[in-house]
Chain A
Amino acid sequence: MERTEKHLYAVMTTILCTMALTGIVVDGPSETMQGFLTLQTHAGRLINDFTTVGVGAALLNSALVGAIGLVLVYFVEVSLSGPTIAAIFTLAGFGFFGKTPLNCLPIIAGVWIAARVAHKSLGSYSLIALFGTALGPLVTYLMFDMGLSLPLSVPLGLTAGLLVGVFLPAVAGSMLQLHQGYNLYNVGFTCGFIGLFASSLLLATDSMASLTIVWSTTYHPVLMLLIPVISLFLIASGVVSEGFEQIRKTFSEFSKIQRLSGRLPTDFFDQSNAGGTLLNMGLLGLASWSYVWVTGAPFNGPVLGGIFTIIGFGCFGKSLKNTWPIVLGAVSATLLFGKDLTAPGPILAALFCTTLAPIAGQFGMIAGFIAGFIHLFMVETTAAWHGGLDLYNNGFAGGLTASLLIAILQWYKTNRPMEDFRQ
């Protein structure tokens, strides 16, 4: 293991352990554990804020879901680098609103079966396995929300999780071709597509409950301070990893990252150094936190999940430069359509729309603005299509937006008359 990778393991372990310990300290071991067990029986469909059960329980759940990712990366022997760190942060983020260890593991096992069938290692499909846990609510919805007896519902939920895990690698590869890597949450796009079929089947059997929003507006100092603390820790880790004497180089690598398009797969640890990448992650975290603070939106589970995802993708496609035009587009659409910036849909869209950052990175600010604008009104409707079963609903909407824009841009680029052979 290289020195940088060891440093990254230390950083990730510190963050996850601190979150788990904070959770236990905040609510006490007994209440935290009780809340954590309660969360395991939540369906977790969109939008289900786990902090309403207990801040400590949500923190512990988030840390454990993230730890599953970290342990998996270690044991399947793939690099702890841009894509895997993005996946672990995303797992931890969604541990605040939808993912639990119980609903993640069957999907990972399903992807493992697919890997065996294709004679590949689980490491080869590790990113699909980690991001594929977005369909976790399908497992827990079938287990606990269908009104079936547990001896029937538990095997049903496990089987559904295994099945979607088996299909994920096949579908994820095909979905990539639609947007050509311009939607960072490609597995979210994939899960939305699979979720459409699962939701339609449940509707056909009259087993689909309508969507509800569980959204905390309660202020809690730990939730408020979590992101600044993690962001500052990442920035400090970046500076320490390269050494104080190299601080100028760290900043120059950070500015190098701002020049990258971020199109999938751009591993910033590969294209730059650890210092510049960790600095980018930390600053993205602070910028996102500042936006939420300025708008007055609550720092609850889903909002923290959004910021965690942005921080994670700060080493795998997102930079300050390629995200702001998208956010500006989504915010402009919110205001133009007379919506409240702090309402669940718009605030989450403003954070998660950064899935389209590579469009701004590659085609410029105006294209990014248009992508963000379209994304807002798409994401408001897509959750209902898959019944809230795909936690990465913004990845699904972002995939649709990116596919449309890329198809148009591709048609334009491949029909330039000046490059034809002379007639």
Chain B
Amino acid sequence: MKRKEFLGRLIGELTHFMLEGNPLRMVVSLHQEEDGAHISIFDDRPRPDDELKRIRSSLNPKSHRPELAEYYGTMAGHDMAWDARLKLIGWQIKHASVENTDDGLRIDLWLGSDAFNPANFTLHEKQ
């Protein structure tokens, strides 16, 4: 279950990050397609603009880093004792969007194969 382990690692690191803010409420949602997936996580702790910028840059690295993703990416979600490291997620996904909602922080991760195009995602059609 390669996909299960991959998603588990990403969700683990992401929840680790959100829990560092000590939220009173946190929701994780996953939707899978054949060629990709969408993970959405939100809490009740809005973040200041500079922190949003920092999260965005960690989750959306400037360049493709396969050498880091495959090797060090396996550390994602394994360690809850020290600081969460969003870069470990950023190297392994296609795109992340980060924003404050009315209630708190919302992070959306889009991941999948090279063929996967988040624009074709069917979640909204189904809704």
Q: Do A and B bind each other?
A: yes
Measured CB to CB, the residues of A under 8 A from B are: 2, 78-79, 83-84, 120-121, 123-128, 169, 172-173, 176-177, 180-181, 263-265, 267, 270, 362, 409-410, 413-414
Determine whether the beta carbon of B71 is less than 8 Å from that of A173. yes
**Smallest CB separation, B24 vs chain A (Å):** 13
Expressed in whole angstroms, the Cα–Cα distance for A123 and B68 within the complex equals 10
- Interface segment out of the listed B36-44, B72-80, B102-110: B72-80
Determine whether the beta carbon of B75 is less than 8 Å from that of A177. yes
Residue of A nearest to B78 (CB): A177
Determine whether the beta carbon of B66 is less than 8 Å from that of A121. yes
* B81 sits at the interface (CB 8 A): yes
Contacts of B74 in A (CB 8 A): 173, 176-177
Determine whether the beta carbon of B63 is less than 8 Å from that of A79. yes
With A177-B78, A413-B81, A414-B81: A78-B71 Cβ-Cβ less than 8 Å: no
Q: Per-position contact with A for B53-90: 1 when CB-CB < 8 Å, else 0?
A: 00000000111011111111011001111100001000
Determine whether the beta carbon of A123 is less than 8 Å from that of B67. yes
**Smallest CB separation, B23 vs chain A (Å):** 15
Contacts of A2 in B (CB 8 A): 63
Residue of B nearest to A264 (CB): B72
Contacts of A267 in B (CB 8 A): 68
User: Which of A124, A180, A265 is the one whose CB lies under 8 Å from B82?
Assistant: A180
With A410-B81, A414-B81: A176-B72 Cβ-Cβ less than 8 Å: yes
Expressed in whole angstroms, the Cα–Cα distance for A265 and B71 within the complex equals 10
With A180-B79, A180-B82: A78-B70 Cβ-Cβ less than 8 Å: no
With A79-B63, A180-B75: A120-B70 Cβ-Cβ less than 8 Å: yes
Count class of interface residues, chain B: 10 to 19
User: Which of A172, A176, A265, A410 is the one whose CB lies under 8 Å from B68?
Assistant: A265
**Smallest CB separation, A256 vs chain B (Å):** 14
By Cβ-Cβ distance, the 9 closest A-B pairs, closest first, are: A124-B70, A265-B72, A173-B74, A78-B67, A124-B66, A410-B81, A413-B81, A126-B67, A123-B66
Expressed in whole angstroms, the Cα–Cα distance for A120 and B68 within the complex equals 13
Expressed in whole angstroms, the Cα–Cα distance for A278 and B69 within the complex equals 24
**Smallest CB separation, B91 vs chain A (Å):** 9
Expressed in whole angstroms, the Cα–Cα distance for A264 and B73 within the complex equals 11
**Smallest CB separation, B81 vs chain A (Å):** 5
Expressed in whole angstroms, the Cα–Cα distance for A410 and B78 within the complex equals 12
Expressed in whole angstroms, the Cα–Cα distance for A75 and B72 within the complex equals 21
Expressed in whole angstroms, the Cα–Cα distance for A263 and B78 within the complex equals 15
Contacts of B65 in A (CB 8 A): 78-79
| 11 A-B interface contacts by CB (under 8 A) | A83-B67, A124-B69, A124-B70, A125-B71, A173-B71, A176-B71, A177-B74, A177-B75, A180-B78, A264-B75, A414-B81
**Smallest CB separation, A395 vs chain B (Å):** 15
Determine whether the beta carbon of A172 is less than 8 Å from that of B71. yes
Residue of A nearest to B69 (CB): A124
User: Which of B63, B70, B78, B82 is the one whose CB lies under 8 Å from A125?
Assistant: B70
Expressed in whole angstroms, the Cα–Cα distance for A169 and B71 within the complex equals 8
**Smallest CB separation, B99 vs chain A (Å):** 24
Determine whether the beta carbon of B75 is less than 8 Å from that of A124. no
**Smallest CB separation, A371 vs chain B (Å):** 16
Expressed in whole angstroms, the Cα–Cα distance for A178 and B123 within the complex equals 39
Expressed in whole angstroms, the Cα–Cα distance for A169 and B74 within the complex equals 11
With A79-B63, A176-B75: A362-B70 Cβ-Cβ less than 8 Å: no
Known contacts A79-B63, A124-B66, A125-B71; 4 further A-B pairs (Cβ under 8 A): A173-B71, A180-B82, A181-B75, A263-B82
**Smallest CB separation, A403 vs chain B (Å):** 13
- Kindly name the residue among B61, B67, B68, B79 whose own CB sees the greatest number of chain A CB atoms within 10 A: B67
Contacts of A172 in B (CB 8 A): 71
Contacts of B80 in A (CB 8 A): 414
Contacts of A128 in B (CB 8 A): 71
Expressed in whole angstroms, the Cα–Cα distance for A121 and B71 within the complex equals 12
Determine whether the beta carbon of B75 is less than 8 Å from that of A127. no
Expressed in whole angstroms, the Cα–Cα distance for A413 and B81 within the complex equals 6
**Smallest CB separation, A420 vs chain B (Å):** 14
Expressed in whole angstroms, the Cα–Cα distance for A268 and B18 within the complex equals 26
Expressed in whole angstroms, the Cα–Cα distance for A300 and B119 within the complex equals 59
Contacts of A265 in B (CB 8 A): 68, 72, 87
Contacts of A413 in B (CB 8 A): 81-82
- Kindly name the residue among B70, B75, B78 whose own CB sees the greatest number of chain A CB atoms within 10 A: B70
**Smallest CB separation, A104 vs chain B (Å):** 18
Expressed in whole angstroms, the Cα–Cα distance for A270 and B90 within the complex equals 13
**Smallest CB separation, B20 vs chain A (Å):** 12
**Smallest CB separation, B69 vs chain A (Å):** 7
- Kindly name the residue among B62, B68, B78, B79 whose own CB sees the greatest number of chain A CB atoms within 10 A: B68
Residue of A nearest to B72 (CB): A265
Contacts of A120 in B (CB 8 A): 70
**Smallest CB separation, A375 vs chain B (Å):** 21
